[in-house]
Amino acid sequence: MVDLSLYLVTDSTPAILKGRDLCTVVDQALQGGVTVVQYRDKSNDTGVMVETARKLHQITKKYNVPLLINDRVDVALAIGAEGVHIGQDDLKYEEARRLLPENAIIGISTSTVEEAKKAIADGADYLGIGTMFATPTKTNTKSVIGTAGTQAILDAISDSPVGTVSIGGINHSNVQRVIYQSQSPKKALDGVAIVSAIMAADDPTASAKHFAELIKNPPRFAVASTAPRPNEVEALLTEVPQVVRKMVEVHPLVHSMINIVVANFVANVVLSIGASPIMAPYGDEATDLCNLDGALLINMGTLTSESVSNYLKAIKAYNERGNPVIYDPVGAAATHIRRNAVSQLMAGGYFDLIKGNEGEIRQVWGSSAVQQRGVDSGPSTLDGKQKATLARDLARRERNVVLMTGATDYLSDGERVIAVENGHPYLGQVTGTGCAIGTISGCFLTAHRSDRLLAVLSGILMYEIAAENAAASEHVRGPGSFVPAFLDELYAIRTAVAKGDDSWFVGRA
Ligand code: 3NM
Ligand code: MG
């Protein structure tokens, strides 16, 4: 079968070629390790296409790489190309199959489960699945499906050995995440199809080489996490005190891009638990800050016109270094602007942890879930079991950890689901107490990398047990006196832990 791993799709428009010769660019890309070439030309006359395709075929043969022709079975036949790639609005599969030689390769573009199943039933050799991300290279695409939509397709066709490539907006900074997050338990992408990131690159050889390197390895953020562990809450709880001790010893740093209402309170919480807060909303600063090897928190509570681009710069910097990134989609469903921000951020980077209340988590689930997997945003209506299921499904889909907060918190890594009942109603009466959970999760994710669910669980328990202790204090009469007592109790746990005293935890979770 064809090696689909690095699939180059050509483009003859001036914006991409920038005055260079198409055949030269393709030759350079092949030198860098492209494994299959599709000649796609939407503007030239048939005569020019046949002539260009013939030249391209001479080149691809040198590298022993198949040449496929987009849409035009006649051009493929005229030059004896190895096959064709057809879209949903092109010649039908049966017609192409009838016209072409028996061993010709036929690939089909698909963007839904139904199209994918039909293409497999017809006999397609491979599927182009997309559009992954919106792209200026092709603006008339049917739908942008993201990694969630791609994963849903791979899941639905996992019993078929058909080849698969993802296409649309794939570049060096997202290719590893595309492959990682699209993967369903039983089927992964065989490759990625690229136009502009290779064709328009100043050095197509270097660009292709870089892609070839990247696709061999998982993203850095995926390396640290362990294989799934059994859902044994009791066993996990026995490990909590040592994770808290590790966090206290490591003094982790956490960079928060957080809303202005709670920044001061959250910084004080971080100091109380023995970690270091940096509150920095300026995206360009993240390229330096990520080198300090802390975590990044994105909290979109006071979103502005510049927030999303700042967040995306920071997320990219931390993702590239493999340092933890936490997303708190505050008010995710509240406005059109925020719903858009959720989609952009979910498409733009990887989050080790997504933390939000029920409405926010539902919005995150629905905004990037196509393929009839969407859930309407709206008032809370889920019971405990449904909440646990949603947290688990979102974590499974995004391949991360999800924390749905509420009177009971639901925490999942896609396999294990834990309900946490600790805390106190005063936490709901003070602004910033929810936001602080995102930031302190960053401290714990930094200190304990091998089991992200255990790290977040340890943080929540330290936090909520401190809240219970504070509320029980005789000096606390309401939310006002609760705040200083709460900081004191966090500090008290941290000081006890540093001395090796775990009594704060015994019998409390
Ligand atoms: N087909 P770039 S997206 C040719 O969704 C093509 O089917 C698409 O270009 C589809 O790698 C696309 O520059 C263009 O984003 C991809
Ligand atoms: Mg087409």
pLDDT digit string, tens, across residues 471-505:
999 999 999 999 999 999 999 999 999 999 999 99
Range of lowest pLDDT (239-248, 380-389, 435-444): 380-389
Choose among 445, 465, 454, 446: nearest CA to 416. Answer: 454
Report the SS3 class of residue 201.
coil
Whether the predicted model's global pTM rises above the 0.90 cut: yes
Tokens of 196: 């502009």
Q: Tens digit of pLDDT for each residue in 235-248?
A: 999 999 999 999 99
Tell me the pLDDT of the chain averaged across its residues.
Answer: 94
Domain 6-218: give its CATH code. 3.20.20.70
What DSSP line would sit under 142-189, residue for residue? S---HHHHHHHHHHHTTTS--EEEEESS--TTTHHHHHHHH-BTTB--
Q: Tens digit of pLDDT for each residue in 10-39?
A: 999 999 999 999 999 999 999 999 999 999
Distance CA 356, CA 63 (A): 51
| pLDDT over 70 percentage in the chain | 96
Buried b (16+ CB within 10 A) or exposed e, 376-387: ebeeeebeeeeb
Structure ipTM? 0.97
Residue 508: what pLDDT?
87
Domain 233-498: give its CATH code. 3.40.1190.20
Domain spans in the chain, listed from the N-terminal domain onward: 6-218, 233-498
> Could you tell me the strand order of the sheet in which 353-356 lies?
276-279, 253-257, 295-299, 325-328, 353-356, 401-404, 409-412, 417-420
Quote the distance between the C-alpha of residue 106 and its chain's center.
30
Per-residue confidence at 228, pLDDT binned at 50, 70, 90? low
Say yes or no: do domains 6-218 and 233-498 share a fold.
no
Ligand 1 binding pocket mutation candidate from 18, 129, 138, 172 (most atoms within 8 A of CB) = 138
The active-site residue out of 23, 290, 435, 443 is 435
Q: Is 443 a catalytic residue?
A: no
Q: Tens digit of pLDDT for each residue in 267-306?
A: 999 999 999 999 999 999 999 999 999 999 999 999 999 9
Ligand 1 atom with the smallest distance to the CA of 11 is: 4
Do 26 and 59 contact (CB within 8 A), yes or no?
A: yes
Ligand 1 atom with the smallest distance to the CA of 194 is: 11
Q: Which residues surround ligand 2, an ion (CB under 5 A)?
A: 71, 87, 90
User: From ligand 2's centre to the CA of 68, what distance in Å?
Assistant: 12
